[in-house]
Amino acid sequence: MHASGFDRTRPLLLLVMAAAALGGFALGHPGIVSTQNLDSMAVFGIEIGMIALGQTLVICGGDTGIDLSVGAIAGLAQVILGRLLHLDLAWPVAIGMTLLAGLVLGGINAVAISWFRIPPIIATLATLFGYQGLALVLTGGINIDLTHESPLFLAIGQGHVLGLPLQLVALYLPLLAAFAFLQHGTRFGRALYLAGTNDRAADLAGLRASRIRAATYVLCGLVSTIAGIVGAARLGTARPDAAGEANLISIAIVVLGGTGIFGGTGSVIGTALATVVIGIVDYGLSYNDFNPIYQAGVIGVILIGVILVENPFVAWRDSRRTNGA
Amino acid sequence: MSERVATVIKPVLASRRRLPAGREVLLLATLAVLVGLISLGSHGAFWSRVNLDNLFVGSAITVIPAIGMTVVILTGGIDVSTGSVLGLTAAIGGTCFAAGWSLAATVPIFLASGAVLGLINALLIINGRIPPVIATLGTLSIYRMLVFIVLGSNWITAIPPALTTIFVVDHLLFLPVVAVIALVFLIGAALFLRHFRWGRHVYALGNNEEAARLAGIRPERIKLAAYVMLGLLTGFAALLTLGQSPMVQTSTGSGFVLQVIAAVVLGGTALSGGRGTMLGTLLGTLVVQVVDDGIVLLRIQPFWGGVALGAVILAAIGLSAHHEIRGA
Amino acid sequence: MSRVELAGIAKRFGGVVALAGVDLAIAPGETHALLGENGAGKSTLIRVLTGAIVPDDGEIRVDGGVRRFAHPKDARAAGIAAVYQEPMIYPHLSVLENIFAGNEITLRGGMIRKAAMAERVRPWFARLDLSDDLLDRPMGRLSLGYQQLVLIAKALTQEARVIIFDEPTSILSQSETDRLFAIIRRLREDGRAIVYITHRLDEIGKIADRVTVLTDGRVTGAARADELDETKLLALMAGKASRNYGKPRPDRKPATETPPAFEIKGLCRGNLYRDVDWSVPAGRVTGVYGLVGSGRSEVALAAFGALPPDRGEIRLNGARIAPRDPAEAIARGIGYLPEDRKSQGIFATKPLEANLTASALFRFVHAASRLDFGGLRGEAARLIGRYRIKARDETIAIGTLSGGNQQKALFARWAGQSMKLLILDEPTRGIDIGTKDEIHDFIRELAASGLPVVVISSDLPEVLAVSDRVIVMRRGRVVTVAEGDAMHAEAILAAAVGTHARAA
């Protein structure tokens, strides 16, 4: 077993599910497996996929870690970006400032949780209200039109590289690689797993558990901000409620990807695979003209279904292991 | 969390610990300050009959599910699907109204469908062994999907006016009927939790599940009852929501659960279970509602409501969390 | 006739035999001590007796009649109650509610009759010299000693005729222990049967009438307490009569004249400890002996940055230090082996390798902060070999190892690094005697290599076995420092307990 306690069953299960979902849709509509559709599938999943990367680290850090404010951060980031662009700032400057703002928003969560010791679910519930409210205040509840901004900026959400979506190649995959390295290859990642497994033991081993966790909230705020920026560029508009359901869906993806809700286990790799499954299901449903709300419903079914199927299996396997010992 | 250092040295410190400042006192003070500021800023409009009635109706609709949520959290669980349960029961009940059913015939439909949805949550958590957050996160999405299936793309507006008349317009003891009902429920729940065997078992379970099991308490039954009760109360709240604004749409109830959890947690109920009171939940609900109300009365841009609510939660919980570290 | 009799009780968990046919008879008016190493089957036996688990085989007889305990309620109805080592309490409920949880006195509708419950408890509170004011206090705010007394009152309220004490004194101060013993004697005189589980041999003579020793799920010895002395008991427990355990180490070194490597002066914190001075020379093992609550662990935590002091100074190799957290203390060369292995030490589900290297990660970092996994595995393999940790390999989850091997791994985590000071808090608590001896040898080797080592322990034989000198603490103060000939059991115990009469 790897130090992460990363289980191989779940990634396999996810791959099978992805193949089955794609196959299933292809049976009904053979046309779905076209380059253009796969492209749209990727674009669909990327923003929530980025947020899920940050959510993975937060949940992995344990101590009831969870970030409910991710969607609100993405929305507020879009709005901040939109306002800055409308101030006629150059778009790279505006993005730079928005990223800084994202760090601050994540930092507020980190301070509330690590310094003031507010339970994460409450702290991020409060900042969810706060950030959502600020986004509405900044826009007056009206979407900010960005379609006339620099084409270079819009390319962040609409461009292509080597026939693949730009945000996939230039943002998501590098972020995934960076997070995977951070989680599995660095001292920080090792400390994160240990802190998530036993908070006090980590402190007494000199690992500074609460600082490590604080960093995960800041990172989570940052990727949520990036997701918000990509979304704004993709649709050419900044909406305060852009990622309203992102908190629940990102948590669902993380858990589906094999990260235990109690911390100390899991991997962003599993999260990425789960994102693929969700992306295919999402797109397949909308391709078949289902209302977007069905996507959330199907995610719910998959989430509960996977755990219900897996629980007895894991219990059976563990009992065999104990008997063998 | 706050006990990191404290648990290292717990054997020594467990003695002579001072009482933490009562959350109820803190909330009462907050409420008094808020009400004072708002009545000054609104030149007394806060105390108008209409405003108070609105405030009480809104509080009642939040506090009724909050009673159930408090019990669920006391057992150490949580239910994030409450908003979808409200939406789905409203859709089911609304469909009955639209089909011409009478009020009397439909009320049991609201209650029963709420209870069934709560039961599904309970079974997933207890028999399916899925952590409560995850299980109800799943049903949150599933129930919402079902709202769409039930409603299609329609809105239901064929709500019997009698519903509004009976629960919202009519008064009893100077309060709208819903508020009286909510108070009766609250007092009943408080008495039940405090003075009845099952109520004490809820606390025992939330304090130490293993010890409770060994003492012959059956945690599964209590949890089952708690989630079903929450579903039932949410079904009732769905009915009242239609009395407040007679329309069902696909988004009915979304965002509602965050209000309910915020009120319960603000009221001092610990998410780890075993600690919390109905009085706290009432005060927490009132603070949430008064903040909302004040935003309207003071003609502040309504979007500040979320910011203010977030700030109040952070301040209240942050203060007492900090206090517990110091006091421990 | 025996009050409770167990005949041929057997229990397996998966492939592991926990109890292999245990016979035990407990008579009324008798205190029956149950001895055995961790894993010998004591806790399983207690769980069988209290109905928490159902045995695979065997019979339980109460007053001669065969009973089957399918649930703790059944055992309670038969008059059997246990006072657990880690009190099973409901911290936010009142004392009265704790006593009646699951067993409330109610009206027909389920309404609780608080007055009736208080009425039922009062005589027992009086018998235990407890004030009625306690009844409304939240249980979590009582000291552990009082919590235990409340649990005894609970057992009495349930009309228990057999009361099981599971290592009751491990969490008590000396005065609380004395009071507990007085109460146990009183209960015995009432004609109740007492089962008393302990690790502490010195308690046997004080409290027990009969002794039964469990080893590997079997009864391997039984005797009347007055026929036994410590040597015979140890022989019974270890199965070897020749063990020379608890005697002072033969190679004890005299104090050095050189200035101390680690020094604490005038350290104070609230009511935990006051004016504490420790002087720890290099190349020696300094024992710190004191009962739980004497402040010994808290002083160590202060030096380790986990619980900063209010006042006083800490010096390491002459330089004044004031670590704000353990990470800083470690960076300065201080290692601390925590007393509670499970909650403060191990990462149970993580591989042995991650557990061994948790506090040395900074030594295995490449460029771009990449971890050197090869180096980590190599280090883990080295430590496993060096400290003879019995494990398949370094990838196995530490939680699956035996307690002794877990403890060795935690010891290796610190001993394997070049630290400037090691503080070992209860380094061998709850592990088997063989591993205990091994760890004692490792501790001596560390000191022989020139390291200052502090061994904190409430196990007097252990302190005598490993230390060159002993600091004795009582109620937050250093009461004596024993060296050379002054280091004998009676004097140290007397200082720790506060009765100087016996020391003379």
pLDDT tens track for A139-176: 887 888 888 888 888 888 888 888 788 888 889 999 99
Amino acid, res. C233: L
Residue ranges covered by each domain of chain B = 22-34+44-316
Q: What integer best gives the mean pLDDT of chain B? A: 82
For residues B142-161, give the mean pLDDT.
83
For residues A201 and A206, what is the distance between their CA atoms, to the nearest angstrom? Answer: 9
- In chain C, the percentage of residues whose pLDDT exceeds 90 is 24
Superfamily of domain C262-497: P-loop containing nucleotide triphosphate hydrolases (3.40.50.300)
pLDDT tens track for C263-322: 999 999 887 888 999 999 998 899 998 876 678 888 999 999 998 899 999 999 989 999
**CB distance B134–A261 less than 8 Å?**
yes
- Picking from C83, C84, C93 by the largest number of B CB atoms within 10 A of its own CB, the best residue to mutate is C93
Amino acid, res. B137: L
Q: Quickly state the pLDDT bin for B209 (edges 50, 70, 90).
A: confident
Cα–Cα nearest to C88, from C31, C139, C158 = C139
Superfamily of domain C4-238: P-loop containing nucleotide triphosphate hydrolases (3.40.50.300)
- Picking from C143, C147, C425 by the largest number of B CB atoms within 10 A of its own CB, the best residue to mutate is C143
Q: Quickly state the pLDDT bin for C248 (edges 50, 70, 90).
A: low
Q: Does A181 touch chain C (CB under 8 A)?
A: yes
**CB distance C306–A201 less than 8 Å?**
no
**CB distance A133–B313 less than 8 Å?**
no
Q: Quickly state the pLDDT bin for B20 (edges 50, 70, 90).
A: very low
Q: What is residue A317's predicted lDDT score, i.e. its pLDDT?
A: 62
Which residues of A are less than 8 Å from B134 in CB distance? 251, 255, 261, 303-304, 307
- Residue C375 in tokens: 């180096």
**CB distance C106–B212 less than 8 Å?**
no
Which residues of B are less than 8 Å from A303 in CB distance? 134, 137-138, 141
The subunits that touch chain C, with at least 3 C-beta pairs less than 8 Å apart, are: A, B
Which residues of C are less than 8 Å from B208 in CB distance? 88-91
**CB distance C354–A194 less than 8 Å?**
yes
- Residue A135 in tokens: 């986004």
Which residues of C are less than 8 Å from A201 in CB distance? 338, 343-347, 358
Which residues of B are less than 8 Å from C106 in CB distance? 196-197
* Separation in Å, CA of B49 to nearest CA in chain C: 39
Q: Does A105 touch chain C (CB under 8 A)?
A: no
Q: What is residue A170's predicted lDDT score, i.e. its pLDDT?
A: 87
Q: Are B17 and B328 in contact (CB under 8 A)?
A: yes
Q: Does B100 touch chain C (CB under 8 A)?
A: no
Q: Are A195 and A61 in contact (CB under 8 A)?
A: yes
Tokens 């109620």, residue?
C475
- Picking from C350, C393, C422 by the largest number of A CB atoms within 10 A of its own CB, the best residue to mutate is C350
Q: What is residue B121's predicted lDDT score, i.e. its pLDDT?
A: 94
- Indicate the fold that domain B22-34+44-316 takes in CATH: ABC transporter involved in vitamin B12 uptake, BtuC (1.10.3470)
Q: Which of C14, C331, C395 sits opposite A323 (nearest CB)?
A: C14
Report whether pLDDT(A95) > 90.
Answer: yes
Q: Are C90 and B203 in contact (CB under 8 A)?
A: yes
Q: What is residue A318's predicted lDDT score, i.e. its pLDDT?
A: 61
Q: What is residue B19's predicted lDDT score, i.e. its pLDDT?
A: 38
Which residues of A are less than 8 Å from C397 in CB distance? 1, 5
Give burial (CB, 10 Å; 0-12/13-18/19+) of A324. exposed
Q: What integer best gives the mean pLDDT of chain C? A: 83
Report whether pLDDT(B8) > 50.
Answer: no
For residues C331 and C354, what is the distance between their CA atoms, to the nearest angstrom? Answer: 19
Q: What is residue C110's predicted lDDT score, i.e. its pLDDT?
A: 83
- Which residues lie closer than 8 Å to A276 by C-beta, 6 or more apart? A14, A18, A45
For residues C353 and C339, what is the distance between their CA atoms, to the nearest angstrom? Answer: 21
Q: Quickly state the pLDDT bin for C18 (edges 50, 70, 90).
A: confident
For residues C298 and C95, what is the distance between their CA atoms, to the nearest angstrom? Answer: 28
Amino acid, res. B145: M
Question: Which chain B residue shows the shortest CA-CA distance from A259?
Answer: B134
Q: Does A6 touch chain C (CB under 8 A)?
A: no
pLDDT tens track for A46-68: 999 999 999 999 999 988 899 98
For residues A243-248, give the mean pLDDT.
78
**CB distance A190–C361 less than 8 Å?**
yes
For residues A163 and B50, what is the distance between their CA atoms, to the nearest angstrom? Answer: 61
Question: Which chain A residue shows the shortest CA-CA distance from B304?
Answer: A133
Report whether pLDDT(A101) > 80.
Answer: yes
ipTM score here?
0.84
Report whether pLDDT(A1) > 50.
Answer: no
For residues B293-301, give the mean pLDDT.
83
For residues B254-275, give the mean pLDDT.
85
Which residues of B are less than 8 Å from A125 in CB distance? 258, 261-262, 265, 313
Q: Quickly state the pLDDT bin for B271 (edges 50, 70, 90).
A: confident
pLDDT tens track for A315-325: 666 665 544 33
* Separation in Å, CA of B271 to nearest CA in chain A: 8
For residues B113 and C432, what is the distance between their CA atoms, to the nearest angstrom? Answer: 58
- Bigger pLDDT: A10 vs B112: B112
Which residues of B are less than 8 Å from C338 in CB distance? 8
CA of A278: how far to CAs of A14, A41, A133, A165, A295, in Å? 10, 10, 29, 18, 8
**CB distance A204–C338 less than 8 Å?**
yes
- DSSP element (H, E) containing C130: none
Which residue spans within C323-468 are E strands per DSSP? 334-337, 421-425, 453-457
Report whether pLDDT(C43) > 70.
Answer: yes
- DSSP element (H, E) containing B78: none
Strand bridging mode C162-166 / C16-26:
unpaired
Most confident of B110-114, B195-199, C85-89: B110-114
**CB distance B212–C102 less than 8 Å?**
yes
Cα–Cα nearest to C387, from C420, C427, C329, C341 = C427
Torsion of CA B85, B89, B94, B99, to 10 degrees: 140
Which residues of A are less than 8 Å from C412 in CB distance? none
**CB distance C301–B9 less than 8 Å?**
yes
* Separation in Å, CA of A97 to nearest CA in chain B: 22
Task: Return the DSSP state at B19.
Answer: P
Q: Quickly state the pLDDT bin for C15 (edges 50, 70, 90).
A: low
Q: How many alpha carbons lie under 13 Å from residue B28 in its C-beta half-sphere?
A: 6
Question: Which chain C residue shows the shortest CA-CA distance from A188?
Answer: C369
Lowest mean pLDDT among A80-94, A299-313, C470-484: A299-313
Residue C266 CB neighbour total at 10 angstroms: 12
Question: Which chain C residue shows the shortest CA-CA distance from A322?
Answer: C14
Which of these CATH numbers, 2.60.120, 1.10.3470, 3.30.450, 1.20.120, describes A36-309? 1.10.3470
- Residue C17 in tokens: 């035999």
Q: How many alpha carbons lie under 13 Å from residue C293 in its C-beta half-sphere?
A: 19
For residues C166-176, give the mean pLDDT.
74
Cα–Cα nearest to B269, from B133, B69, B80, B4 = B69
Q: What is residue C301's predicted lDDT score, i.e. its pLDDT?
A: 92
Lowest mean pLDDT among B200-214, C26-40, C464-478: C26-40
**CB distance C90–B5 less than 8 Å?**
no
pLDDT tens track for C66-120: 888 888 888 888 888 888 766 678 888 888 888 888 888 888 888 888 888 888 8
CA C324 vs. chain centroid, Å, equals 28
Three-state secondary structure of B22-72: CHHHHHHHHHHHHHHHHHHHCCCHHHCHHHHHHHHHHHHHHHHHHHHHHHH
CA C494 vs. chain centroid, Å, equals 21
For residues A120 and A25, what is the distance between their CA atoms, to the nearest angstrom? Answer: 39
Q: Whole-prediction pTM value?
A: 0.82
- In chain B, the percentage of residues whose pLDDT exceeds 70 is 91
Residue ranges covered by each domain of chain C = 4-238, 262-497
For residues B286 and B32, what is the distance between their CA atoms, to the nearest angstrom? Answer: 11
For residues C77 and A48, what is the distance between their CA atoms, to the nearest angstrom? Answer: 57
Amino acid, res. C189: E
Torsion of CA B6, B7, B10, B13, to 10 degrees: 10
**CB distance A308–B128 less than 8 Å?**
yes
Which residues of C are less than 8 Å from A325 in CB distance? 14-16, 400
Lowest mean pLDDT among A208-212, C239-243, C269-273: C239-243
Residue by residue, DSSP assigns C252-296 as: PPPPPSSPPSEEEEEEEETTTEEEEEEEE-TTSEEEEE--TTSSH
Q: Are A3 and A190 in contact (CB under 8 A)?
A: yes
Cα–Cα nearest to B79, from B283, B271, B248 = B271
* Separation in Å, CA of B276 to nearest CA in chain C: 10
Task: Return the DSSP state at A171.
Answer: I
Q: Which of C353, C359, C369 sits opposite A205 (nearest CB)?
A: C359
SS3 C215: strand
Q: What is residue C84's predicted lDDT score, i.e. its pLDDT?
A: 76
Q: Quickly state the pLDDT bin for C256 (edges 50, 70, 90).
A: low
For residues A255-269, give the mean pLDDT.
88
Which residues of C are less than 8 Å from A191 in CB distance? 361
For residues A247-252, give the mean pLDDT.
85
Q: What is residue C240's predicted lDDT score, i.e. its pLDDT?
A: 37
* Separation in Å, CA of C102 to nearest CA in chain A: 29
pLDDT tens track for A300-314: 888 888 878 777 766
* Separation in Å, CA of A124 to nearest CA in chain B: 9
